């Protein structure tokens, strides 16, 4: 059968933390359309869902970063990836759920702003300013980041509490890419070493899950993390290996989210009696966080 005919089956995560006790999954059988993307399927679901699905997108062309979600457990851009014959669409991992597929990125964006993601210069440059290509190449490469947070959904979080993920000291790759974009810009005069120490740049692990994950083609380890470490700290020992991680669903007092927990954090929370198993249809590892 042609890839442009037949049906696809989409299981969509539905959950309003303010109204529902637990999430549920809706199953939709949709006609396959030529060149169908995940976003096309979600827009069809939106049209036929009895109470409309909450999902976010804007440009439809890999420019705005708004449509990031999890498909069959993998973070990706809905407007760029093909619809699969069978797919489970869930909100982006590691971010609190607002409703259905929409997550709250505001706490993470606050962290990014604390990393001063802008140029600071003491002297106003001549206009037009000549920018040598060789000096600007690294920053230019990183300026292609569309802040979609797909990369941050592919790593483990270091710690959580009743209010959400604690990002300081383990800031996640999207924040580090933004930070590196300015750390590697020869025009910037911000003193960034202390910021990088507080943020945890040197100790942020080398996650294999980041290889090839960026929809903008940024090699996060080679283009951002390694050169920023070199620029700020010189030759230092390589970053630690990434921890083993498992994806879980958590309902806490102040948030609910899919989270990648390191095995160590998962063990620690279980030993402290802070993770109570929850029965949720369609989710193997669901817990109530009792912190």
User: Which two structure tokens, joined as six digits, stand for 280?
Assistant: 């949720």
The distance of Cα 278 from the centroid of its chain, to the nearest Å, equals 25
174 binds, among ligand FES, ligand SF4, none (CB under 5 to 8 A by kind): ligand SF4
From CA 239, how far away is CA 225, in angstroms rounded? 10
Residue 230: which of ligand FES, ligand SF4, none does it interact with, CB under 5 to 8 A by kind? none
Strand-pairing partners, residue 30, are: 8
Say whether residue 57 binds ligand FES (CB under 6 A).
yes
* Chain position carrying tokens 């976003």: 39
State which of residues 38, 41, 69, 77 lies at the interface with ligand FES (CB under 6 A): 77
How many residues can be counted in the chain? 291
Quote the CA–CA distance of 207 and 216 in Å, as a whole number: 18
Does residue 107 belong to the site contacting ligand FES (CB under 6 A)? Answer: no
Does residue 60 interact with ligand FES by CB under 6 A? yes
Residues 140-159, interacting with ligand SF4 (CB under 6 A): 145-151
Does 184 contact ligand SF4 by CB under 6 A? Answer: no
Asked if 63 is part of the footprint of ligand FES (rule: CB under 6 A), the reply reads: yes
Distance CA 249, CA 253 (A): 14
In the complex, minimum distance from the CB of residue 82 to ligand SF4, in angstroms, rounded to a whole number: 18
Phi-psi region of 100 (alpha: psi -120 to 50; beta: other; left: phi over 0): left
Strand ranges inside 185-278, DSSP E:
245-251, 256-262, 275-277
Size of the site for ligand FES (CB under 6 A): 12
**What are the structure tokens assigned to 107, written together?**
């706490």
- Is 139 a binding residue for ligand FES by CB under 6 A? The answer is no
> How far apart are alpha carbons 221 and 205 in whole angstroms?
10
246 binds ligand FES (CB under 6 A): no
Q: Which does 252 bind (CB under 5 to 8 A by kind): ligand SF4, ligand FES, none?
A: none
Positions that interact with ligand SF4 (CB under 6 A): 145-151, 173-174, 177, 213-216, 218, 220
Positions that interact with ligand FES (CB under 6 A): 57-60, 62-67, 77, 79
């Amino acid at each position: 059968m042609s890839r442009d005919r037949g049906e696809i089956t989409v299981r969509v995560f539905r959950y309003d933390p303010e109204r529902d006790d637990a999430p549920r999954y809706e199953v939709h059988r949709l006609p396959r359309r030529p060149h169908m993307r995940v976003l096309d399927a979600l827009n069809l679901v939106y049209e036929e869902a009895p109470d409309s699905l909450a999902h976010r997108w804007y440009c439809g062309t890999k420019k705005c970063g708004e449509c990031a979600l999890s498909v069959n457990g993998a973070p990706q851009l809905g407007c760029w990836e093909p619809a699969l014959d069978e797919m489970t669409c869930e909100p982006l991992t590691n971010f609190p759920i607002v409703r259905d597929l929409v997550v709250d990125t505001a706490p993470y964006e606050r962290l990014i702003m604390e990393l001063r993601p802008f140029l600071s210069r003491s002297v106003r440059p001549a206009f037009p300013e000549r920018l040598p290509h060789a000096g600007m190449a690294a920053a230019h490469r990183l300026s292609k980041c569309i802040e979609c947070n797909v990369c941050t959904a592919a790593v483990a979080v270091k710690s959580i509490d009743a209010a959400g993920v604690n990002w300081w000291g383990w800031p996640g790759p999207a924040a580090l890419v933004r930070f590196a974009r300015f750390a590697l810009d020869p025009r910037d005069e911000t003193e960034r070493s202390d910021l990088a120490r507080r943020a945890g740049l040197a100790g942020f692990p080398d996650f294999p899950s980041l290889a090839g994950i960026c929809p903008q083609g940024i090699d996060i380890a080679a283009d951002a993390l390694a050169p920023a470490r070199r620029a700020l700290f010189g030759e230092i020992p390589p970053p630690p290996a990434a921890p083993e991680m498992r994806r879980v669903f958590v309902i806490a007092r102040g948030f609910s989210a899919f989270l990648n927990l390191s095995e160590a954090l998962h063990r620690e929370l279980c030993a402290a009696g802070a993770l109570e198993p929850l029965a949720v249809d369609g989710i193997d590892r669901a817990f109530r966080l009792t912190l």
